[in-house]
A and B are shown apart, each in its own frame.
Chain A
Amino acid sequence: MMKQPTFLFIALLLLSFPFLSGGLELSMENQFMVSMFLVFTIGIAHGSVDNILYLKKTTVKPLSFYLIYLLLVGSYALLWFVFPLFAITSFLLISAYHFGQSQLIDCFKNSTLMHKFLYAVWGISLLSALLNIKQGEIVAIFSSYEDLRIFETLLGSEYIHYLHIASTITVVALLLYFTASRQFSNERMFFEFFILILINFSFAAFPVLPGFTLYFVFLHSLNSLQDEFKFLKNRDQLQIWSFIKKLLPNTIISIAATLVIFASIYFDYIDFSYGFVILVLISSITFPHVFVMEKFYSPDL
């Protein structure tokens, strides 16, 4: 129930309390630097063994896998230029399901449709909490980039407030239902309530970037990395250093590719903002990753 990454998340949150007591204020540049460093190291790393996981558990040929994977990355990147509102909405929904799945997957042996619904609603509750609690800050960030202003109306919508409330109530109701039907232990239910409160608290207490990074890196990415390591350890008796070595190539490629794109923006070869490019990059690699993790977590593999 309480995994090491969850403990780390709680410990870091507790250790940050004195900073909140002291009224520490972080500049936007510092928030950005710290958050991007963590997202582009630990965050990216948790998807960097997608190829290994998928190929270990299926009979798909490597070439086919890489082609389809890259095709999905490219298609999603393209979607931002054709249907940007659809791209951002589907990115949020896909991410929501993925976050809920990684948080709750160990509760159920086989994920039924109802369980998958819970994953999606849990993730919607999480993302709508961030969008609701930090709406002003998020809209300000998006309005500061010309190519992101198109999303201002969507992200500034008052309906996000109701979505946050409705999705949280649904999560609570579903957790109560699963507990009543003995699919969930009482302790697990309280634990999940507690974690939801902590996540909402951290979103409220911190500026948007460090608040979300704390969740994304320590509660989500490290959690997934631990699941991936356990799988490879059980299957191939892989040790921790060998696992880290396996994470490195794709992580380094991703960081290098991002730096090249950033340099292209800096030298005016590409006429897009850093914010827009970050959004496109993260969503494009998230899209195939979610499919891989769906396979990874399915019991028939």
Chain B
Amino acid sequence: MVLLELIAIDGKDPVSFTFFTGYMAMLAAAVFFFAERGSVDAKWRLSLLVSGLITGIAAVHYYYMRDFYASTGETPVALRYIDWTLTVPLMCIEFYLLLRPAGAKTSFMWKLIIASVVMLVAGYIGEAFTDGSMGHSVLWGVISTIGYVYILYSAWFGEAKQLADASNSTAVKSGIKALAWFVLVGWAIYPIGYMTMPGGWLGPDGAGLFAAKDINLFYNVADAINKIGFGLVVYNIAVRESANTLLEKVTKPA
């Protein structure tokens, strides 16, 4: 009975709805990526494992977040940031794994991880420890955005872009381009969500377009796009590259 109460959702509440669909979608994606590991070439299995881990970790957190939200009606800030602290660096590792054949060094991976940690820790402090003052959310929001802009720069102009350009694989080139788009458009949904917080431009104190709880709607939609979409791009590269490898083996003279 307690469990039934916990998982009861309000059909008219899109936040609650997206917590549930988000959980199921993440779980399904994780199963898919783990199952598909066997169908790609060995060198791409680690990438699919990481994709499976990203969506799997997110599925577990969404399981707890949906119940937390359903039972309290409040935003699960801590759970959200625990999820991101684990999954976003893994996305940076995906970038590294894809670009490793093109010569990416571990220093490239660490730079992205550090930038993502700056982005998340500052975002968490800004959101969870807010004292309601403008200075607090602005300061930590700006620090967080600097981390994000660094990753964005790397994907569009910096090391990631240069490594992709140097790669011989068209699948890797187009894949990195797709991931750069995810970082530009998909990740930009989070700071827009941030603006629905009390005092924010889109929130009840500003334009009044969204309620404070709607921050979850933005985050849930963004998570689904970025985590599952990100994984599908990686999967697509893995499948295309595996097919090329197979073709090379078949056509190679004995």
Contacts and interface: CB of A to CB of B under 8 A. Distances in A.
A200 to B, nearest CB: 13
Given A7-B157, A10-B184, A194-B185, A23 B206 contact: yes
B192 interface: yes
A11 interface: yes
A18 B149 contact: no
Given A2-B156, A23-B205, A18 B137 contact: yes
Contacts of B201: 20-21, 23, 205
A14 B135 CA distance: 17
Given A7-B157, A14-B149, A17-B191, A22 B200 contact: yes
B142 A15 contact: yes
Contacts of B156: 2, 7
A226 to B, nearest CB: 13
Given A14-B188, A14-B191, A21 B153 contact: no
A19 B199 CA distance: 10
Task: Report the contact-size class of chain B (Cβ under 8 Å from the partner).
Answer: 20 to 34
A20 B205 CA distance: 11
A205 B200 CA distance: 11
B157 A21 contact: no
Contacts of B175: none
Interface in B198-220: 199-202, 205-206
Interface in A1-15: 2, 4, 7, 10-11, 14-15
A18 B194 CA distance: 8
Contact of B137 (A4, A22, A190, A194): A22
Contacts of A20: 195, 200-202, 206
Contacts of A24: 134, 138
A14 B206 CA distance: 18
B197 interface: yes
B145 A22 contact: no
Nearest to A25: B134
B126 interface: yes
Nearest to A6: B156
A143 B55 CA distance: 56
Interface in B37-84: none
A23 B199 contact: yes
A17 B153 contact: no
Give the interface size class of chain A: 10 to 19
B92 interface: no
Contacts, number: 76
A15 B153 CA distance: 14
A17 B184 contact: no
A14 B199 contact: no
A11 B181 CA distance: 14
A11 B144 CA distance: 12
Nearest to B149: A11
Contacts of B191: 14, 17-18, 21
Nearest to B198: A23
A23 B200 contact: yes
Contact of A22 (B152, B188, B199, B202): B199
Contacts of A10: 152, 184
Contacts of A187: 177
B89 interface: no
B136 to A, nearest CB: 8
Interface in B20-45: none
B149 A23 contact: no
Contacts of B231: none
A207 to B, nearest CB: 12
A7 B153 contact: yes
Interface in B109-137: 126, 134-135, 137
Contacts of A17: 141, 145, 191-192, 194-195
Interface in B149-187: 149, 152-153, 156-157, 177, 181, 184-185
Nearest to B143: A18
A270 B252 CA distance: 84
Nearest to B148: A14
Contacts of B200: 20-23
B206 A18 contact: no
A14 B150 CA distance: 12
What are the nearest 9 A-B pairs in CB distance? A18-B141, A22-B134, A20-B201, A17-B191, A22-B138, A21-B200, A23-B199, A22-B137, A11-B149
Interface of A: 2, 4, 7, 10-11, 14-15, 17-24, 187, 190, 194, 205
Interface of B: 126, 134-135, 137-142, 144-146, 148-149, 152-153, 156-157, 177, 181, 184-185, 188, 191-192, 194-195, 197, 199-202, 205-206
27 contacts: A2-B156, A2-B157, A7-B153, A10-B152, A10-B184, A14-B145, A14-B148, A14-B152, A15-B142, A15-B145, A17-B192, A17-B194, A18-B140, A18-B142, A18-B145, A20-B206, A21-B138, A21-B194, A21-B200, A21-B201, A22-B134, A22-B137, A22-B200, A23-B201, A187-B177, A194-B184, A205-B201
Given A22-B141, A23-B201, 6 more contacts: A14-B191, A17-B145, A19-B141, A20-B206, A23-B205, A24-B134
